[in-house]
Amino acid sequence: MNTETEYWVMLSRIDNSRPQKRLDLVMALGSVSKAYEADMEVFLRAGLTKEQYEYFHGEAIKAEADDIIRTCEAKGIRILTISDDEYPELLRYITDPPLVLYCRGRIPKSNSFAIVGSRKASGYGMETARKMAYSLALEDISIVSGMARGIDTAAHTGALEAGGETVAVLGCGVDVPYPPENKGLMERIIESGAVISEYPPGTPPSTFNFPGRNRIISGMSVGTLVVEAGLKSGSLITANYALEQGRDVFAVPGNISNYNSMGTNRLIKDGAKMVLSVDDILEELSFGSAPLAKSNRKSEGNRTSNLGPEERKIINALKIEDLYDEELAEKVSMDLAELFEILLELEFKGIIRKSINGKYMLIS
């Protein structure tokens, strides 16, 4: 007997189509099971092909999905679909969000911020990434990176040293330590956060997978910091995804003669926010609440810490763009009467306000 999870896994395994097309099909029909039950004509109208329809309803994909689910159960890997509550809220709103995430550990509910950079980082770059991650983690911000050598490793390590939460997004299965020397780091990350991937268990690392992985790193984060990067670095792909997703991009400047500084210096020249200390990040991003004075940040705490899940959904949606009430209701799947009550409460708390053009926005 098919379950919703199995249908989602099957849908995620259809090759040669953008995830957004498949997601649009599910949203139009109301559920993934109804998408499975739909006629071929509906598939074709959604921009999918006859071959993809037949594959989705064939025995091979059912067997593959069953095998993936059994493997996940045996290895303690959880399958999060885009309809699950634990699925990162910001990630739902990007173009082509992964339909399924495979997860070891627990994805933090706190605000997430990405730190990425060169695999061949300098000692200066490694220490800078570690310190930035450490300081942000002390502010209850979870650090997202790719667990690669160099800057990624330093970022995860800094968050862990601060006793904070961190998430590693892999370009392989979550049961495949990559690079191999980070196996111990991987287990530490799982204990205080999560290791996630859109690729099923057992998937080996591949250069083809990493650009797609980068859209998840930026997509689940309110901003992305690039610490060191050459002109053709994969970190610049992450930064470009962040810009396309409407997120803030930050960069640490470096020596103009150093190859690993060329990418970050170029980002700053093109408009990325220059970071000289962690305060440059904290002052730029409100993380869903009115900015707190530096001297009061620790004593007052994060004003969103006691908010409920529905309030957080609204805040996360407004982090991306200002919205009219009907647009916001659609984004967070809430009826207007319920939405208005929560919006009023958030206004009283000084977290949001209604602009002169009628759109709701976060107070910055």
DSSP letter for each residue of 200-212: PTTPPP-TTTHHH
Helix-helix angle 210-219:234-244, to 10 degrees = 50
**In the predicted structure, residue 254 carries a pLDDT above the cut 80:** yes
Residue 290 has a pLDDT of 34
Bridge partners for 224 per DSSP: 114, 249
Side chain identity at 84, as an amino acid letter? D
* Helical residues (DSSP H) of the chain, grouped into ranges: 4-12, 19-29, 32-37, 40-45, 50-56, 59-75, 123-138, 151-161, 183-192, 210-219, 234-244, 259-269, 278-284, 297-300, 309-320, 325-332, 336-348
% of the chain residues with pLDDT over 90: 68
Q: Are 275 and 225 in contact (CB under 8 A)?
A: yes
Q: Are 145 and 217 in contact (CB under 8 A)?
A: yes
Residue 283 has a pLDDT of 87
Confidence of residue 233 (pLDDT cuts 50, 70, 90): confident
Task: Calculate mean pLDDT across residues 97-101.
Answer: 97
Q: Are 92 and 82 in contact (CB under 8 A)?
A: yes
DSSP letter string, 291-319: PPPGGGHHHH--TTTT--HHHHHHHHHHH
Mean pLDDT, the chain, as a whole number?
89
pTM of the model: 0.78
Tens of pLDDT, residue by residue over 172-198, are: 999 999 999 999 999 999 999 999 999
% of the chain residues with pLDDT over 70: 93
* Long-range Cβ contacts of 293-296 (<8 Å, 24+ apart): none
Q: How far apart are CA 257 and CA 40, in angstroms?
A: 58
Centroid of chain to Cα 202? 22
Q: How far apart are CA 124 and CA 121, in angstroms?
A: 8
Query: Which residues, including other chains, have CB under 8 Å from residue 277's CB and lie 6 or more apart?
Result: none
Tens of pLDDT, residue by residue over 109-120, are: 989 999 999 999
Residue 229 has a pLDDT of 94
**In the predicted structure, residue 293 carries a pLDDT above the cut 70:** no
Side chain identity at 276, as an amino acid letter? L
Closest CA to 319 of 214, 218, 247: 247
Q: Are 218 and 114 in contact (CB under 8 A)?
A: yes
Q: How far apart are CA 142 and CA 26, in angstroms?
A: 31
**In the predicted structure, residue 207 carries a pLDDT above the cut 70:** yes
Q: How far apart are CA 160 and CA 192, in angstroms?
A: 8
